[in-house]
Amino acid sequence: MKLSQFKFKLPDESVALYPHSIVHEFKNDDGTTTISRLTRRDECKLMVLHSKSQTIDMFKRDEKGNPIEGEFLDFRNILDYFDEGDTFVFNNTKVFPARLYGTKEKTDAKIEVFLLRELNAEMRLWDVLVEPARKIRIGNKLFFDGSGPMVAEVIDNTTSRGRTLRFLYDCPHDEFKRELFALGESPLPRYVIDKREDHHATEQDMEDFQCIFAKNEGAVTAPASGLHFSRELMKRMEIRGLNCAYITLHCGLGNFNDIEVEDLTKHKMDSEQMFVNAEACNLVNTAKETEHKVCVVGTSVLKATETAVGADGKLKEYEGWTNKFIFPPYEFQLADAMIANFYHPMSTLLMSTCAFGGYDLVMKAYEQAVENGYLFGCYGDAMLILND
């Protein structure tokens, strides 16, 4: 397929800048207003796509099964589509506070450093992105906490915006990581940061932009479809006899890179590290053998399971890297259902969703989502795709 086939008009107001929340405004004695947000992960809108029957559910139904116009499904209704023994596959990667702000030596010019991954723990070497890149050269020293001890030296250029930094901080590694991360912000996507009034993440974002089951540190963006699961919803899943399998894929920034070729077969994805253990394989393969649904939660899990599935259709243990790019047409080997967010035009995430749900049905759903006020992006609403 062609890049231009995934283009559609997305109004600015359709992009969520905060998670689904209950918002309260309080008037202070001095006339100012204080806004309080209470995050409700599992109360966003839910749209359900049935790929075989080519139908779309948006509304709750009355006792006769008729849709109630205006009463949208919310994410908690997702349990109505699954039975005891079905298995959900989650990505338990953990996001770290990757975005730092500092100054350049001598000029005190403000800079942004985005941590990608640690290259060498002993030498404190990190692979990073920098802004403004043209002003940050090999040999420059960068300061992150005013007169404090956290200083980094640029020792290599890797890409136009990429640099290798050596942090000049002499202490045990665990202490260094704590001090470094204490200076960072939640790594919200640029399409959120750039639209917020102060262009910053908040302390609350460090909790909101993290799945409640996050465990293995290494992601610089959250597996957004997992953000909708609350502790209460997970408990209801347990009571219903639904199984939860966990894999790890450390989500990188590659999914946000612009695609610069019209022919999608020529696009190359960045590699991401992933792990699939025996426990996850046993849960998923048992579900398949007993003819229960396997639901992958997000495009990262879709990518991981399609990387680790064997020729026999069973999930295999895996430790390594994947740069798999899934776009239509694609023959899936494992999942029966998929949970996704609503993604931006011409994004690899949209392409993976279209591959699973079918291009025509998913693009029709996106058109209806815009018309009905669904929210897009990492903090947006959710889609469930069923193979029925």
385 vs 170, more confident: 385
Would you kindly state where each structural domain of the chain is located, as residue ranges? 3-95+205-386, 99-184
Contact 32, 44 (CB under 8 A): no
Contact 362, 386 (CB under 8 A): no
- Token pair for residue 253? 């920034």
Mean pLDDT, the chain, rounded, equals 94
HSE-CB for 217 with a 13 A CA cutoff: 10
Quote the CA–CA distance of 87 and 101 in Å, as a whole number. Answer: 41
Quote the CA–CA distance of 385 and 355 in Å, as a whole number. Answer: 11
The CATH code that applies to domain 99-184 is: 2.40.10.240
Cα angle vertex 227, ends 216, 299, to 5°? 80
* Predicted TM-score of the model (pTM): 0.92
pLDDT score, position 340: 98
- Residues 42-63: pLDDT tens digits? 999 999 999 999 999 999 998 8
Angle between helix axes 359-371 and 348-357 (nearest 10 degrees) is: 120
Across residues 143-165, what is the average pLDDT? 87
| H or E segment and range at residue 88 | strand 87-91
- Residues 325-379: pLDDT tens digits? 999 999 999 999 999 999 999 999 999 999 999 999 999 999 999 999 999 999 9
Contact 199, 271 (CB under 8 A): no
Class of domain 3-95+205-386: alpha beta
Split at pLDDT 50, 70, 90, the class of 231 is very high
Cα angle vertex 341, ends 118, 59, to 5°? 160
Give the DSSP letter of residue 210.
Answer: S
Across residues 166-183, what is the average pLDDT? 91
Quote the CA–CA distance of 110 and 329 in Å, as a whole number. Answer: 45
Contact 5, 328 (CB under 8 A): no
